[in-house]
Amino acid sequence: ETGVTQSPTHLIKTRGQQVTLRCSSQSGHNTVSWYQQALGQGPQFIFQYYREEENGRGNFPPRFSGLQFPNYSSELNVNALELDDSALYLCASGETGTGFVGYTFGSGTRLTVV
């Protein structure tokens, strides 16, 4: 098991720009989820991919989009960045279904929008 790795670790973008965050999930995990954690708050569910198909979405606008690839990697894309998008973005992977034992989280990408 190699765990969940995210890149980059830190990123500074200007309001209105677009950003792509990347995640490499744990091998064998069929599900990847993305969460946004604003400063001093708990993580908020953005969306989730199961076997490369989106199968759940939180209360985030369409400018938040994603992809999951067959090689256990995934992306979170955010268009038209706003100042409120500044947060820690967490990727989590797991094997959902019978025998679900929880998600493994990456260390996150700290996005600052100026």
Distance CA 24, CA 85 (A): 22
- Torsion, CA 38, CA 21, CA 35, CA 9, rounded to 10: -60
Rule CB under 8 A: choose which of 78, 81, 103, 113 binds other proteins: 103
Rule CB under 8 A: choose which of 41, 77, 79, 112 binds other proteins: 41
8 binds other proteins (CB under 8 A): no
Q: What is the DSSP letter of 83?
A: G
Span from 12-20, 61-69, 78-86, 106-114 in contact with other proteins (CB under 8 A): 106-114
- Beta-bridged to residue 34, according to DSSP, are 47, 91
Dihedral sign computed on CA atoms, order 3, 51, 68, 83: negative
* Residue number with CB closer to other proteins (12 or 80): 12
Span from 11-19, 28-36, 68-76, 79-87 in contact with other proteins (CB under 8 A): 28-36
CB of 8 to other proteins, least distance (A): 14
102 binds other proteins (CB under 8 A): yes
Are the CB atoms for 50 and 110 separated by under 8 Å? Answer: no
33 binds other proteins (CB under 8 A): yes
